[in-house]
Amino acid sequence: MRYKFCSNCGAQLPLTIYPFTAQTCTRCGHTHYHNSRPCAGGLIVRDGRVLLVKRAVEPFKDCWDLPGGFLEAGEHPRDGMLREIREETGLDVRVLGFLGAYIDRYHFQDEEFFTLSSYYVVEPIGGELRAQDDVNAFAWFALDALPDAIAFEHPHAVLRDLREWMKRDF
């Protein structure tokens, strides 16, 4: 995303060609950085299958997605992942391992930025599966029979890595 005005002095900022380049104010010299936004998500696994959620909201409405979302300020990715899973699925889960960190681009309406998502492999230990928040359906998928309509780019890499992780650690 690009900022239009300086947050320090209010002057108009120079427009950069690449939307993620830092913008420095020509009046006061203040630099506005465009960092990746931190997210966290969970691969909920049971009997060799993974739980995907169907998005009820744009972008990628009605596509399958991994449960997760944006972190709050100061929130550890692990805590954010547990919170998002509880909000979206109603499940309490136990962490089995950290899968990895993934970069993606989020582009919706006039917003465009990078995301940096931490993913954990987890298993359900309680709660009750129920659609809520920005999710309208769930399904358990075998890792060799995933749906075609998957939201965003990075979940393809995440699910590929999960397949390897399951062979190795499960």
Q: How many residues bind Zn ion (CB under 5 A)?
A: 8
Q: Which stretch binds Zn ion (CB under 5 A): 5-13, 33-41, 84-92, 149-157?
A: 5-13
CA 101 to chain centre: 10
Q: What dihedral angle (degrees, nearest 10) is formed by the CA atoms of 116, 120, 124, 128?
A: -10
x-or-dash pattern for Zn ion, window 8-37, by CB under 5 A? xx-x-------------x-xx-x-------
Q: Round to whole Å and give the CA distance between 65 and 141.
A: 12
Q: Which stretch binds Zn ion (CB under 5 A): 3-11, 71-79, 115-123, 150-158?
A: 3-11
Q: 34 or 55: whose CB is closer to Zn ion?
A: 34
Q: C-beta of 22: minimal distance to Zn ion in Å?
A: 13
Given the rule CB under 5 A, which residues bind Zn ion?
6, 8-9, 11, 25, 27-28, 30
